[in-house]
């Protein structure tokens, strides 16, 4: 249970840093395309917010997939690499 809380906090921290970067990029691109700070602010807030929420759930889905893959790999006795990890030598 404690590990799940640590994982959730990590995912939230990653999500927040991703959101800050995404807000900055979205605002900059929208401003360069429109020349309007008002439009760029609107796009810079709405679009990244939607993607940030989606990213959080995407990250949680990957964590669940990795957790499910561990027991199956152990049951087969294989050293199968999980997503995002290097294969065992």
What is the per-residue pLDDT across 51-89, written as a single tens digit (0 to 9) for each? 888 988 998 999 999 999 888 777 777 655 556 666 554
Q: Which two tokens stand for residue 12?
A: 């939230």
**pTM, rounded to two decimals:** 0.53
What is the total residue count of the chain? 89
Token code pair at residue 4: 């799940």
Q: Which two tokens stand for residue 87?
A: 């294969």
23-30: list long-range contacts, CB under 8 Å, 24+ apart.
23/48
Cα separation, 3 vs 7, whole angstroms: 6
| The most confident of 40-44, 48-52, 80-84, by mean pLDDT | 40-44
């Amino acid at each position: 249970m404690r590990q799940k809380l640590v994982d959730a906090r990590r995912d939230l921290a990653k999500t927040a840093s991703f959101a800050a970067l995404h807000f900055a990029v979205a605002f900059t691109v929208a401003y360069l395309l429109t020349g309007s700070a008002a439009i760029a602010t609107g796009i810079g807030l709405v679009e990244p917010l939607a993607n940030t929420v989606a990213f959080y759930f995407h990250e949680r889905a990957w964590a669940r997939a990795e957790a499910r893959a561990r027991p199956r790999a152990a049951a087969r006795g294989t050293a199968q690499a999980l997503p995002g990890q290097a294969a065992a030598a």
